[in-house]
Structures are given as C-alpha cells and as structure tokens.
Amino acid sequence: MSAYLEITGLNAVLRGTRTRVLRDVSLSVSKGQVHGLVGESGAGKSMIGKAILGVLPRAIEVASGRISLGGQDLGVLPLRERLRVIGSQTAVIPQDPLTALNPSRRIGPQMTDRLTRTLGWQKTRANHRALDLLEEVAIRDPERVLHSYPHELSGGMRQRVLIAAAFAAEPKLIVADEPTTALDVTVQKQILKMIADMQTRHGTTMLFVTHDLGVVARVCQSVSILHSGMVMEEADIRTMLTAPAHPYTAALLAATPRYTDPEASLVPVSDTVLAGVAEAIRASDTLWGRA
C-alpha cells in the first residue's frame, strides 16, 4: 500500500523566532486509511492539519520539512498551484459546526463554491451533487436545507452539512479536526459512525485529530501520539492499544476512563513519564538549536 500523505521532518516556529511549536514531525498515511493524531490540548495536533492545508495562523510559520500529497511535494509548488491542489484534493471537517459556517450565506453556495469556483463545475451539477450528499448524511429535506441560512439549522444538522460538504469534491485527503468535540454526547456517536461509514464508502484517506483514545480505537487504523508538537510514537492501532512502545502512550491509555471502574481508571500521567517526555523534547531542541 502506497502512502498518500507523507510528512517528513516538519518544523513549525513562532514567526520570526526559533521557538518551535511542531518538532521534527514525521508521519505517513496510506491511501484509504484513517490516521489518528492524539495528544493533550496544546500538543500541536490541529497544527499539523493546518500546516498541510496551508492555513496556519499568521503567527506561526513552517521552518523546514516536507509535506507531500500523492507524491507531490507541496512546498515546491507556487502559491496558485498549491491552492489548486489543496482545493481539489483535500477537505476539512471542522471542530465547531456553530462557527464553521458563514452566518450570512446560504448553505447551498457554501457547500458548492469549492466545486464551482475551484473545480469549475456547472452550477446545476454542483447543486445535484450537494443534494445527493445531503441525502447521504441523512438530512430529510435537502432541498430546503440548501436554501437555509446556518442559524436555521441545529448544531447536529450543521455538522452533517459540513461532513457532506467535505466529501463534495471527492477529496483524496480529509482532515477531521475533532469533529465531535463540540457536539452533544447523544449525537457524537452517530456523527462519528457517519464519518467512518462515508470514509469507507468513498475510500478517502483521513487524518483524524482527537484527544479521545476511545474514538481513535473505533475509527483509526494507525495513530501518532503527540506531546509538545513532537511525535512520541507512531504505530498501527493494534500495537498502540496492546503493546505501546512509549511510556507516555501507556500512561495515556491508563488514563482513559472506563465504565467498569471509573475511579481507578482516572490515573494522571506520572511525573516520571512526563520527565521522560521533557528529556526527549530537550534532546530534540538541542539538535535543532545546533542546526
């Protein structure tokens, strides 16, 4: 199986400084696979997705490293060309459905503008596509939804719209940025299953950003564990769950709440493990400082 997404030695820094927010990140995701990016908040997991799509905040810039999609190195492309590749081959399922839709535009154009503007589709064809996808995410009255404004839809509906929109251009890669975090627990499971089903059906490669190891176990085939913008461990899901190589991974697994014994399962990550993590980061920073 060939790797679709490949990141090698990616370093991102606060603009104009040598302070790193992503530390020598390397990972590869095979075509059609779901790769989890797991870490505590601030571990840099969303940052990796943003770096791939070229939407890093202004204060952060990529200092070195290579990101390639289907063998195409994004870094060497001129801006226009890179935007075209990003626009036609990738998509995002965002974290918060309440803020990810433009409040003053109707759903229809927001779903289809990528198709008509970036890919040059006819308007009617794009609309048909949007209707089909809304049906696929089990929205009952898709015609009406296309003509609605975001504030006329519930949070769950909006997230389904965003999922449908993400698949609209049949992207090769979808970055799912904590797609269920902002939702009610009651709809979380349903949305998660919907994303997983659509990923399987469309055969899309997916980068799944989450802090929830339970979610990872359910949808991902492989996973990278992050701390302070550094990959602690990259492994396939079975290995990670049964025989974690890194003590930090083991500590995270031990800290995952379980229904059977909730009290005992809430173990904080021990100081020894954190000291080990800090040591690894220090070692990497020393190397970086010399470079």
Could you tell me the smallest distance in angstroms from the CB atom of residue 262 to other proteins?
A: 33
| Among 66, 84, 202, 211, interactor with other proteins by CB under 8 A | 84
Could you tell me the smallest distance in angstroms from the CB atom of residue 92 to other proteins?
A: 5
| Among 14, 76, 83, 243, interactor with other proteins by CB under 8 A | 83
| Among 1, 41, 71, 103, interactor with other proteins by CB under 8 A | 103
Assess 113 for contact with other proteins (CB under 8 A).
yes
Q: Which residue has the tokens 């025989």?
A: 243
The β-bridge partners of 208 are 36, 176
Could you tell me the smallest distance in angstroms from the CB atom of residue 94 to other proteins?
A: 6
Assess 99 for contact with other proteins (CB under 8 A).
yes
Assess 179 for contact with other proteins (CB under 8 A).
no
CA distance linking residue 142 with residue 157, whole number of Å: 11
Residues 17-76 contacting other proteins, CB under 8 A = 50, 53-55, 57-58
Considering the complex, state which of residue 87 and residue 247 has its C-beta at the smaller distance from other proteins.
Answer: 87
Q: Which range, of 5-13, 114-122, 211-219, 266-274, touches other proteins by CB under 8 A?
A: 114-122
Residues 156-175 contacting other proteins, CB under 8 A = 175
Q: Where does this chain bind other proteins (CB under 8 A)?
A: 50, 53-55, 57-58, 79-80, 83-88, 90-92, 94-96, 99-105, 113-114, 117-118, 149, 151, 175
